[in-house]
A and B are shown apart, each in its own frame.
Chain A
Amino acid sequence: MRERQADQQARRAREFQAFVAGAAGRLLHAATLLTGERADANPRARALLTAALAATYASWDRLRGEDPYDRTRTVLVVRYARGAWRRGRGDGGLLSRLAPQERIVLVLRLYEGVAEEQTAALLGLPVERVRTMCARAVTAVLHPPRGPAPSSSAPPVPPGALGKAASS
């Protein structure tokens, strides 16, 4: 009994390490987009990802064929959505001007390529609403409204593709 438990623990540790080695980079990128932080200064994204990975580790033996990447991404988004209301607007990241839900939609739909239906189900919104939100967020990213822009180090925007780039 003890031996089997130890076996299981060792297997879990091995599989989890392989999973983190393969997926953490992409997940950290997604988390950084969500928190609206800059790529080189993202403590909140790291904390978010650590929490999501810990939850995945804790339920590793009960995944039953579910993709751990999908699971971690879902936890990440749900945790972010739950805590977003007391967070700031983000500082300097690409999406720091957008509302939390718009960031989620953009990251899930365009960065992760999740289907509209799944995104809508995760957020508990109708599909049409997700579609309009995505379109609005795309416009907001391509044409940031004038004003005091917090993004002093926004990534370079491909020339010709955009009308007004984020500049301040």
Chain B
Amino acid sequence: MSQQERREAVVRQLLDAGGPSSVPPELHGDAVRRGSRMLRRRTLARRLLWVVLLAAVVAFTIWAAEAQPWVEPPSRTTPPLTRW
């Protein structure tokens, strides 16, 4: 056992000794409450994201059906008359 290892073993003993005697009983309940809230918020955010995505798809579809951007617009210019 090297010097360093011996010193580490001593510190390990120091760290192990004298921890908190007991865990406060309300800790579990608090953690569950906070965790549930996080879960609920996450679910809500995910749902909101889906709704927004769906709305965007619907809006685009309606706009595309109305405007039909793939149809070539009617020509506005007339070819110049060269010969009478």
A interface residues (Cβ-Cβ under 8 A, vs B): 13, 16-17, 20-21, 24-26, 28-29, 32-33, 39-40, 42, 45-46, 49-51, 53-58, 60, 94, 106-107, 110-111, 134-135, 138-139, 141-142, 155, 157-158, 161-162
- Distance (Å) between the CB of A105 and the closest chain B CB? 11
Chain A residues, CB < 8 A from B20? 25, 28-29, 32, 39-40, 42, 45
Chain B residues, CB < 8 A from A13? 32
Q: How far is the CA of A94 from the CA of B5 in the complex (A)?
A: 20
The residue among B12, B19, B42 with the most chain A CB atoms within 10 A of its own CB is B19
18 contacting pairs across A/B (C-beta < 8 A): A16-B32, A24-B28, A25-B20, A25-B23, A28-B20, A29-B19, A32-B19, A39-B18, A39-B19, A42-B20, A54-B33, A57-B39, A110-B15, A111-B16, A138-B4, A139-B7, A155-B14, A161-B10
Q: Are B31 and A54 in contact (CB under 8 A)?
A: yes
Which of A26, A40, A53, A141 interacts with B14 by CB under 8 Å?
A: A141
Q: Are A57 and B11 in contact (CB under 8 A)?
A: no
Q: How far is the CA of A25 from the CA of B21 in the complex (A)?
A: 8
Q: Are A162 and B34 in contact (CB under 8 A)?
A: no
Chain B minimum-CB-distance residue to A166: B14
- Distance (Å) between the CB of B74 and the closest chain A CB? 53
B interface residues (Cβ-Cβ under 8 A, vs A): 4, 7-8, 10-24, 27-28, 30-36, 38-39, 42
Chain B residues, CB < 8 A from A60? 35
Q: How far is the CA of A58 from the CA of B36 in the complex (A)?
A: 6
Q: How far is the CA of A54 from the CA of B11 in the complex (A)?
A: 31
